[in-house]
Every structure is written in C-alpha cells, then in structure tokens.
Chains A and B, each alone.
Chain A
Amino acid sequence: MSSNRESPNQVRPNQERPNRLPTHTGTAIDFTFNGVALQGIAGDTLASALLANGVNVVGRSFKYGRPRGIFGHGAEEPNGIIQLGSGAGTVPNLKATQVELYQGLEASSVNGWPSVNFDVMGLVGAFGRLMPPGFYYKTFMYPKKLWMTYEHFIRKAAGLGATPVEADPDSYDKLNQHCDVLVVGAGPAGLVAAREAARTGARVIIADEQSEFGGSLLASKQSIDGLLATDWVASLATELKAYSNVQLLPRSTVFGYYDHNFLTILERRTDHLGLTSAHQVRQRIHRVRAAQVVLATGAFERPLVFAHNDIPGVMLASSVSTYVNRYGVAPGNKLVLFTTNDNAYQTALDWHQTGREVVAVIDTRADPSGDIVAAVKALGIDVIAGHGLIEAQGRKRVKRALIAPINKAGTEVSGAVRALDCDLIACSGGWSPAVHLSSHTGAKPIWDESIVGFRPGKSIQQERSAGACRGTFDLAGCLAEGASAGAVAASLSGYGEGNRQFPVCAVEEFAEQPQQALFLVPHTKSTSRAPSQFVDFQLDVSASAIELAVREGFESVEHVKRYTALGFGTDQGKLGNINGMAILANALEQSIAETGTTIFRPSYTPTTFGAIAGRDVNNLFDPERYTAMHRWHQERGAEFENVGQWKRPWFFPQQGETMQDAVNREGLAVRNSVGILDATTLGKIDIQGPDAAEFITRMYSNSYLKLAPGKCRYGVMLKEDGMIFDDGVCACLGENHYLMFTTTGGAAGVLAWLELWQQTEWPDLQVYFTSVTDHWTTATVTGPNARKVIAKVCSDIELSNENFAFMDWRDGTVAGVKARIFRISFTGELSYEVNVPAHYGRHVWEALMAAGEEFNITPYGTETMHVLRAEKGFIIVGQDTDGSMTPADMNMDWVVGKNKTFSFIGKRSLQRSDMLRQNRKQLVGLKTLQAETVLPEGAQIVFDDKQAIPMSMQGHVTSSYYSASLGHSIALAVVKGGHSRLGQIVHCPLADGRSIAAEIVSSVFYDPQGERHHV
C-alpha cells in the first residue's frame, strides 16, 4: 500500500485509514498531528491512531536527526514524543503511546526542526560524526565562550518540547491515604493479588497506569478459566468494584516508592477528555502510606540491536500484537519477525490472522521447536533458524531486511547475506522485568541468567513482587504468584490466614524452549564500521558509542551512562538499558552481574509540576501574616516588603514621591519631630520559671541575673561556635518572668533553640517558653517629640526621664487600653515601643496618629528603619552578619559578659585561635568620597583597584543607603582587619567597570555619644 511510503504531510483528511482492520469499528474521533487532520476511533491511543492512518515518521532523533516511528505501545516508547495542544494548557514530552485520543486533540512532534519530513539535521547527516559520545563534555569544556553558540543551535535543532508560557488553567489536588495493601499494576498478577487481599477484608488500593485494568491481557487471545482473557479481566474488575474495602485507580501511575512504605500515585482524571478541564481537578497525587505493597508492574520487551534498527517500521513484537489485538491496527503489510525466544512467535500468529503476510520468522537459535513454534510452522510460515536480521534498510520506512546465518554464540555472521522485502520488522530479545519501583526502595536488582534479565533485589521495605516484574513470564505462574502475594500481604497487615493453596486458574500451557541471550546482533562489519546499531533511540546512543567509551577508559556503568547519555531520555532507558549494560560488559570482558545496572530513581514516568504543586500555588503557596494595622497601611498606600511570612510596610509614598523621596522625608521626620513604626512582627517569647534568669543568662552573651523588674537589656545570642545567631532586648516583667524580643525572621528558630538546650542539656532548670508574637501589637513612637505624643494618650505613667529612663519599661494605659511601654530605641532617638493586646492594635495606632498630628507624626516603613539604624551603626543579624561573625567582629565586645560564672553558649569558641586572628573581617563604616554615590550592597572591597584580575578581595558592603539627615551616603561593611584601618581608602570595583572609592570610618555615623535617646 503506497501510503506507507508517503509522508504524513501528504495524508489527506478523511482518507481511508490503510492500517485499520475492518473488524475493528467504533465512534470516529477527529484529531490533528503536525497540523494534518486525521481520524481515529474511540479507544485509540494517539499512537494507535497514527499507525492506523499510516503515519510513519513521528519525530526526529535527538542527535542525528534521523526519522523515527512508533516503536512500542506503553511507557517504554522512545520515539513518539509529542507536544499536546497549544497555549496555556499545552503539555510537552508526552508519549503518543500513553495519550488517549479525544475529539479535537492536537499533537505535534517535539523533535524535528523545521519539520519531521524535511529536517536540516537529517540532510547534514555527517553532523552526527561530529557528535561522538562525550561530545558535550569535550566540546563545551573549551573554549567556554562558544558554549552559548552551541547551546542555542543544539536546543533549537533538537529541543524536547516547549513549556507553556501562560499560567496553568487547570487545578490539581493532593490527598493523603492509608491502606493495608497497595497493589501496583492491574495485569494478571496484580488483579488476582488485589482479589485475594480484598477477600480478607483488608483495605486495598489497586492502581494501574492504563485507562482500563488488564495490562498485557488486554491484547491477549489466551483464555483463563474458560473465558477470553478480556472477559476474564472484566469479570474480575466487576468483582473488585463490589468490595467496599477496595479502591480502584485506573489512569494512575505509581511514580515513586519512598521510605517507610510511602508511595506516590499520579491519577490523571481528565487528560483523556481534553487538554484542559475548567471545572474539574485535572490530576491529583495520592500520597499513600501502605502497610504492605504488592508490585505487579510487569515487564518490558527488549529490542534487538541490529544495524539501522531505528528506521520507522521496526517495532517490538509485543507492540505489534497489541496494536493488532487491542486496537485493531496492523502497522504495515509484510512482516518479518526477528526473535531469540518462543514467546514472540505469538506475533506471527496474530499477524497471520489479520490476513496480511508474514514474510518469515528469523530465529537466532539453531533449532527452535516449542509448541508455539510448531503452531507457526503449521500455518506454512517460513521459520529461518540460526539466522540474524543484521540490518534494516529504508529511509522513512523499512523496505527490506538483510539476514544472514550467525554462529551459535551469536557473535559473528557465518554465511551469505540475503535480503527479504518487508515493511515491518517485529523484534524481540526477551523480556526485562520492570524492577523500577523495587529499585526506588534501595533494593539492588540481581542479574539472573535463567531469565536473561534483572530480578528485583532482596526486599528492604514491606513489599514483594509478583508476576513478570519478578521474572515470571508465563500466565499460569503470574496468576499463582499474584494470588499468593496478595494473601501474604493482607496477612502481614493483619487480615486473613496468609499463604495457602489457591485454586489454580485454568490456562493453556505451552512447552517453551530456552531463549538465547543476545544483546548485539553481529554484522558483516565490525561494530565501529557497521551502520549504527542503536541501543538508546531517544538519545541516539549506538553500540559503537558504548564500545568507544570503553576504549576511552570508562569502566563504571554509572560513568558510561553519563558519558554516552544512555538512558537519559524521557523513557529513562526502559528499552535500552539492559542491552547497553550487556554491550558494556562484553566490551569490558566481564559478566553482566559484575558490571551491574544503574539505579532507578523516582519518577517512574514524568510527572507534571502542576500535580506536584497541587493547591499550594499563588496565595496558598505560603501563609501570609498581617499585623492588626495592615489595612491602615494599605489605606495609606504603603508599599510592602516580605519579612519571613510577614507583610511589613516598606515605605509610605505620598503623591508623586519616589521611594528615595519617601525614605528621605520619613527619616527627617523621625530625626526632627516624631515618626511611628509598626514593629508588631518582632518575635516575642514569654519566659517564666524559677530558673528563668539563669537560663537566659546561659543563652545570651551577657548576664540577666541582676536585671530588675521594670528593666530591659540588649543581648546577643551566639551559636556554640561563637557566631552571632540572633539579637534583641529582654525585659524583666517580674520575679521569674521575662519577655524576650527576637528578630522578625529569627523568632521560630530562637524558640526551637531555647527548647533544645532546656530539654536536652539542662532539663533540671525549671523554665517555660511561650511564643506570644501574635498576642501583641507594637507601635514604636520615636523622635524628639515622642514623649509629648505619648503624654497625650497615657496618663497613668510618669514619663519624665528620671522616672522612666532609657532601657526601662512600664505598665500603663494607652488610649484606654492596658499597655506595656518599653523605652528601647532602634533609631537612636527618644523612643517608646507601645505594646497592646493584638486586637486593640489599630485603635491604639490611630489614637497615636491623632495625638501626634500637631507634631506631624509620620508613619515610616522598614526601609527608613534600616537607614536610621545604619546611621547609628546598629547591626541587623543576617544582613550585616552571615553566620561567620562574632561580637568582636561586630565591634560589640561590650555585649559579652566577661565575668559570668557559667560558660554561656558560644563563649569558649570566642577564644579559639581563629577568633583571635587580627585580619578577621570586621564591621566598619564606609563613606564614599563622592557624597552622593551610594555603594551597592554586596559590593566587594579591594585595597588596590589597579591590581590585575583576580583581585585580592578584602571584604564586602553589607548595608548601604543615602542618609538624608547626614546629607551623604553611608555604608556598613566588613573588611579584613577593619578596626585598625580607620581613615584608609578602599575601592569597590563594580561589574560595569566603575570603581567607587570610600573611606573607612566608624560604623556610628550619627550621634556617636548616644545623647539623643537618653533625654
């Protein structure tokens, strides 16, 4: 039929579907592929519909740009990688074999620029010769500058799909589940496992990635218990549905098996209905904690590696049977079957039934004679034994197969080559158990010569494998193992009696002969000279590439994998890995068992980010915390800044103001009259108990033993390594009662830190901690007129400096609300921090604003707060410190209590030799020589800006602002040996080529004597 040799671009809409078997009918479904209108029928996958329409080329290979066609029928498909739809809902890199057809589906190839049928990469066939294994490594190491050029070209030429650029229109969910027995896979073994477990009353979940249960039985012509396989599946599924303790999850892929029997399942709820689904959850992830797990994940058929085995029209034998039996599609006309085992002969029988021609069966074994072989011979089909199919020929479709006698070991061609005309080659090198999930648990797969494959390793978790994934390939064996596994799993989770004698399902049994282990089909030329014999189709890794890697000295399977990119595609080596390992083992002249296999890790198949994120997107991504005055700030047009989860006002711009304008105005208001800051977000920990003072003294660098009620003290908390971890004021509220203020971002960490030491090191100390951050609202009134403002709203506290001094606190009433007022200052001005129960916050704030009106009280945000504190040289932990700074580095030796009897946390470390080094980075002020120039924060500091690159970096700028009250820029920086460098000039070379000179000055720029806050 001519259409098989035509390109899809020439397929006309609604033409006859050349490969659809007349016996197979159903509702017509219209879809497009690469813009061409085509038609499938209900029940099709995109792959089966494309094959029905005679579409040969579905994509181009990654490296060589070779035309590629559908090869498999499930998760192993390496070639049919497609982009689904367009716009916001578009999905890249789906496998055509796993996409269920729906009305109006639009798909296109992800590989093939500018089109799959005219591919510049294909024309430049020689380009492949320029890309041997290790190409990326070798090419991109030097010269580095060319990387951008290569990268651009390669991505464009071989890109793997496009991500949507708009927001995802769909919604996703996650749900947590528990069950007694989770059965993965609903093929024959999984179905009976679920049934046996269900019968015991255990809670069972059975998940399968396909749209319907049955697995391999969906394409089987065998009978079970006198029923056709598909009917048997239907009756069993009906039985399972009737159990209230069973949850059935079709279209659900178990993609990860994690510690302590935690498994994740991606359930696709609407993907088969359309690209997006406005009113339903598109996908959801089941997070399952299972008491016991039965893995019944089946096996992948192994392709045979022969020359040009990637030409469209070469497929897996089981895939050909699946398309014929399940989808009613015969993907060609003249079949050559190439096999190393009895099992694949079924494909010849299935093909024969379509009425199309079986040209020949090529069997590598000298004398195949099993039951099914005899059945094939009985139909008059030519079985050519002791031969290999050494090369396929054709360009966009197979035209002929070259066959030749091969020696018994399968290592060399031993006779004359002849050609067989055909347009379809079905190949089978045996079966590889899908050991992926058991491998996720850390169990190492074990090579078993008797099945020519890896079996699951010894169970580490509460799981067992059954059926083909355990290397049991015959149907009767699968059913028996499944039943046993289900019963044992249920029993171990507390249900039923466990393993017992099960009524064996009646199935036909075939006598089979052993398969031949053949991982590379010999050619008349050596591997390096023969046409490419592909191992990994998606990434164009050939047998010669693996041998070359070995010649270049690679021995470890993990290294060879990375060097050649074997198994790196979206199929993750499901087809090619075993052949690749075996070819590697052969090249290394060692056994496959010695060579080992790579480790499979989650995800089993690609999982969408949407499903992983679930509902945790947009404003549900992370909690947001607001203060009681948040609305007020919004009404005043505040810009906000995120501080941890808190939303804090950043600055309050007025009409026409820039940020700098606003910050200048706010800062001058504080210095000259009065400002007000929402300081609610500071962490607050209430500490009580008879040993509270002793405990606090052990945690802070200074002593609190003699702190009297009504007094506050500023302290620094160190980690045991002597580095500053948090800072803040601690107030004595009464006997054995303290209030500790922490930084906004450090609150949770400090509480955990206190609890750690109390619980694990000093449980004998009686002290209790309660976070009260959310219980209080704090308004800081600061500036020369602050006392006058407070006096208008508070009449029961004597506010004079003599009675209420700096670092005192008092109980009182503010605007009718019980309040605690702290005279502590982060601006260097006269300050009152007014704390009231949180829900009175806005009322008190507005009363303070009204009281301050005559003084033009000015609300200010965190930016002005930063400028004001930097003018005073007050550090911000986490901005001016970075976890490697001691109090001495910060010029804060005064905060370290030298005479404390207890060696407080971090004290001993301050005497370590490295802490005593003279050239540690130390906090200094920087004043740019040009007063208006503001240094960028993070700028590196050098002493000599004429030095050749790489320069000797001596420190960096930690805080930098323009100070309106001083009329010049200010910066804080850490400089090596900075405390002894006052007056020296340093330089900050910038990325744009400029270099800014600055003088090292004291870190206290404003009111160095500290007179203004003592008034």
Chain B
Amino acid sequence: MLLIHCPHCQEHREEEEFSYGGEAHIVRPLEPEALNDQEWGDYLFFRTNSRGIHHEMWYHSVGCRRYFNATRNTVTYEILETYKTGTQPTITGAKL
C-alpha cells in the first residue's frame, strides 16, 4: 500500500484515502471538432504506459477532495514527487 504526500494537505497519507486518476498532463483539445477521428482517438484512448517514470493524477477523495499529480516509478512504485495540478514535475524521464 502506497504512502502518498498530498501537496494540498502537506501530509503523507495512506493510499486508502486516494483514488487514481490516470496519466497527467493530457490537455483536452480546444477545438475537438477540428480533429479527425484518429487525432481525437489518440487523445481519448492512447496513453504512454511508461515503464519507469510516470506522471499521473491522484485524487484525495476522502481527504481534501483535490486532484494533484505524482511522479511515480512504475517499476518500483516509488513516488518521487507530488505537485499541484497546473505545475510541472521537477523529475522527468529525460533526466534519468
């Protein structure tokens, strides 16, 4: 069971308090109608499915009810950082 630091609450809390929210930093296209089916399908269904560094959304669903992002190693499950939605990670796959 993961131990997750909520950047809003500024505390480590048990995984039971959170829900997983999928890959982070996927921006909804501003003009969906301008995209062809393949481009829209890419936005809708395709994810990086990284082995190693992965940026993902978490939801403090039975805590502060705020979403935030985590940088997690999908091999070791180590959470390297958590940061607020709208900010950028300091640890990226490129740096490792």
Q: Is the CB of B61 within 8 A of A752?
A: yes
> What's the Cα separation between A907 and B32 when bound, in Å?
9
Render A761-776 as a binary contact track against B, CB cut-off 8 A, 1 for contact: 1010000000000000
* Closest Cβ neighbor of A914 among chain B residues: B37
Q: Interface residues of A, CB < 8 Å — how many?
A: 24
Given contacts A756-B21, A908-B40, A912-B41, contact A260 B77 (CB under 8 A): yes
Q: Is the CB of A760 within 8 A of B67?
A: yes
Given contacts A260-B77, A760-B67, contact A908 B32 (CB under 8 A): yes
Other-chain residue from B65, B78, B86 in contact with A755 (beta carbon distance below 8 A): B65
Q: Is the CB of A721 within 8 A of B66?
A: no
Q: Is the CB of B1 within 8 A of A258?
A: yes
Residues of B within 8 A of A903 (CB): 31-33
Residues of A within 8 A of B32 (CB): 903, 907-908
Residues of A within 8 A of B37 (CB): 912-913
Q: Is the CB of B76 within 8 A of A763?
A: no
Render B32-45 as a binary contact track against A, CB cut-off 8 A, 1 for contact: 11010100110010
Residues of B within 8 A of A989 (CB): none
Q: Is the CB of B76 within 8 A of A756?
A: no
* Closest Cβ neighbor of B25 among chain A residues: A760
Chain B CB within 10 A, most for which of A720, A721, A755, A759: A759
> What's the Cα separation between A663 and B13 when bound, in Å?
49
Q: Is the CB of A260 within 8 A of B59?
A: no
A909 at the interface (CB under 8 A from B): yes
Q: Is the CB of A908 within 8 A of B33?
A: yes
Q: Is the CB of B19 within 8 A of A752?
A: yes
Q: Is the CB of A760 within 8 A of B2?
A: no
* Closest Cβ neighbor of A722 among chain B residues: B44
A616 at the interface (CB under 8 A from B): no
B3 at the interface (CB under 8 A from A): yes
Render A899-929 as a binary contact track against B, CB cut-off 8 A, 1 for contact: 0000100011101110000000000000000
* Distance between B95 CB and nearest chain A CB, rounded to angstroms: 20
A262 at the interface (CB under 8 A from B): yes
Residues of A within 8 A of B86 (CB): 763
B51 at the interface (CB under 8 A from A): no
A460 at the interface (CB under 8 A from B): yes
* Closest Cβ neighbor of A905 among chain B residues: B28
* Distance between B57 CB and nearest chain A CB, rounded to angstroms: 7
Which residues of chain B (43-60) have a CB below 8 Å from chain A? 44, 57, 59
A259 at the interface (CB under 8 A from B): yes
Q: Is the CB of A262 within 8 A of B3?
A: yes
Given contacts A756-B67, A761-B28, contact A262 B1 (CB under 8 A): yes
> What's the Cα separation between A600 and B41 when bound, in Å?
40
* Distance between B49 CB and nearest chain A CB, rounded to angstroms: 18
A396 at the interface (CB under 8 A from B): no
Which residues of chain B (1-30) have a CB below 8 Å from chain A? 1-3, 14, 19, 21, 27-28
Residues of B within 8 A of A909 (CB): 40, 44
Q: Is the CB of A442 within 8 A of B76?
A: yes
> What's the Cα separation between A595 and B28 when bound, in Å?
48
A648 at the interface (CB under 8 A from B): no
* Distance between A51 CB and nearest chain B CB, rounded to angstroms: 41
A60 at the interface (CB under 8 A from B): no
Other-chain residue from B3, B40, B57 in contact with A760 (beta carbon distance below 8 A): B57
Q: Interface residues of B, CB < 8 Å — how many?
A: 29
Q: Is the CB of A460 within 8 A of B76?
A: yes
> What's the Cα separation between A912 and B39 when bound, in Å?
11
> What's the Cα separation between A912 and B38 when bound, in Å?
9
Q: Is the CB of B1 within 8 A of A260?
A: yes
A866 at the interface (CB under 8 A from B): no
Which residues of chain A (705-737) have a CB below 8 Å from chain B? 720-721
* Distance between B19 CB and nearest chain A CB, rounded to angstroms: 7
Residues of A within 8 A of B3 (CB): 259-262, 289
> What's the Cα separation between A763 and B85 when bound, in Å?
9
* Distance between A435 CB and nearest chain B CB, rounded to angstroms: 18
Q: Is the CB of A721 within 8 A of B44?
A: yes
* Distance between A683 CB and nearest chain B CB, rounded to angstroms: 16
* Closest Cβ neighbor of B85 among chain A residues: A760
> What's the Cα separation between A756 and B37 when bound, in Å?
25
Render A250-270 as a binary contact track against B, CB cut-off 8 A, 1 for contact: 000000001111100000000
* Distance between B31 CB and nearest chain A CB, rounded to angstroms: 7
* Distance between B35 CB and nearest chain A CB, rounded to angstroms: 7
* Distance between B56 CB and nearest chain A CB, rounded to angstroms: 12
> What's the Cα separation between A442 and B28 when bound, in Å?
36
Chain B CB within 10 A, most for which of A258, A903, A908, A912: A908
* Distance between A223 CB and nearest chain B CB, rounded to angstroms: 44
> What's the Cα separation between A258 and B76 when bound, in Å?
11
> What's the Cα separation between A952 and B44 when bound, in Å?
31
* Closest Cβ neighbor of B31 among chain A residues: A903
Residues of A within 8 A of B33 (CB): 903, 908, 911
Residues of A within 8 A of B31 (CB): 903
Q: Is the CB of B67 within 8 A of A755?
A: yes
Residues of A within 8 A of B41 (CB): 912
> What's the Cα separation between A359 and B88 when bound, in Å?
75
Given contacts A720-B44, A759-B85, contact A260 B67 (CB under 8 A): no
Q: Is the CB of B40 within 8 A of A912?
A: yes
Q: Is the CB of A759 within 8 A of B2?
A: no
Q: Is the CB of B67 within 8 A of A259?
A: no
Residues of A within 8 A of B59 (CB): 752, 755-756
* Distance between B63 CB and nearest chain A CB, rounded to angstroms: 13
* Distance between B39 CB and nearest chain A CB, rounded to angstroms: 10
Residues of B within 8 A of A752 (CB): 19, 59, 61
* Closest Cβ neighbor of A913 among chain B residues: B37
Residues of A within 8 A of B44 (CB): 720-721, 909
Q: Is the CB of B35 within 8 A of A908?
A: yes
> What's the Cα separation between A911 and B61 when bound, in Å?
33
Residues of B within 8 A of A261 (CB): 3
Q: 29 A-B Cβ contacts within 8 A?
A: A258-B1, A259-B1, A259-B77, A260-B1, A260-B2, A260-B78, A260-B79, A289-B3, A289-B14, A442-B75, A720-B44, A752-B59, A752-B61, A755-B59, A756-B59, A760-B57, A760-B67, A761-B28, A763-B85, A763-B86, A903-B31, A907-B32, A908-B35, A908-B40, A909-B40, A909-B44, A912-B40, A912-B41, A913-B37
Chain A residues with CB under 8 Å of chain B are 258-262, 289, 442, 460, 720-721, 752, 755-756, 759-761, 763, 903, 907-909, 911-913
- Known pairs A752-B61, A908-B35; list 10 more (Cβ under 8 Å): A260-B78, A460-B76, A752-B19, A759-B67, A761-B27, A903-B32, A907-B32, A908-B32, A909-B44, A912-B41
